[in-house]
Amino acid sequence: MAGDTREKLLDTAEALFAERGFYGVSIAAIADELGLTKQALLHHFGNKEKLYGAVLQRLSGDFERELADISAAEPDASKQLKSYLLARAADVLAQTNRSQLLMRELLDNKRRAEAASTWYLKPYLETLTGMVRAVPGWTHADDAEAFALIYQLLGAITYFSVSQPTLTGIFGDEHLASIRASFPGQFEALVDAALRR
């Protein structure tokens, strides 16, 4: 299978899994969206679980690459962390798909057999906690403290991202737009406040 064919299949599968969840999408539905039969998809990925795994694996690769890029571009570890978090906040507001997919995976993976599929998060999280301990005032924090901080900040972003569709229903487009507009500034203030201790 050509590389860009594969990308196209994964794009569609990723979008649908994000929107409806693993159990909410059939392979036939994904194939339909692509103009194929479900057997064509099964031919390429073996079964539904493997297709889902391929989607997650690509996502995790992109994730780590993004983090590595920022690490390479910015020597100051404290600024690395801050700029990474702000970049993620901006990214996640613009495109909610991947946040939703990751959130679904957090909710579901305990039940799926190959839990291995999510352990890829470990190096990513460890890189982040390493960055925390490079921040002045946090050099003596233990693993648990650094991790709790990271998770609280990632949570602040992700939760909002995931909620956006619902918030449109609750508040309407205009009000949500103004909330969105004030989000990055608020979040930056939160990051600054959290890191300064």
Partner DNA sequence: GTTTGAACTTACCGTTCGGTAGGTAAATGC
Partner DNA sequence: GCATTTACCTACCGAACGGTAAGTTCAAAC
CA dihedral 92, 94, 100, 106 (to 10 degrees): -10
Q: How far is CA 11 from CA 59, 88, 137, 167, in A?
A: 10, 20, 42, 26
Could you say which of 11, 49, 74, 145 contacts a second copy (CB under 8 A)? 145
Q: Is 194 in the site for a second copy (CB under 8 A)?
A: yes
Could you say which of 16, 25, 55, 92 contacts DNA (CB under 7 A)? 25
CB under 8 A: which stretch of 5-13, 59-67, 75-83, 175-183 binds a second copy? 175-183
Q: Is 42 in the site for a second copy (CB under 8 A)?
A: no
Closest CA to 184 of 40, 83, 52: 83
Q: Is 98 in the site for DNA (CB under 7 A)?
A: no
Tokens of 12: 């569609």
Q: Is 140 in the site for a second copy (CB under 8 A)?
A: no
Amino acid code (one letter) for 94: A
**Contacting residues toward DNA, per CB under 7 A:** 1-2, 5, 25-29, 31, 36-40, 42-44, 47-49
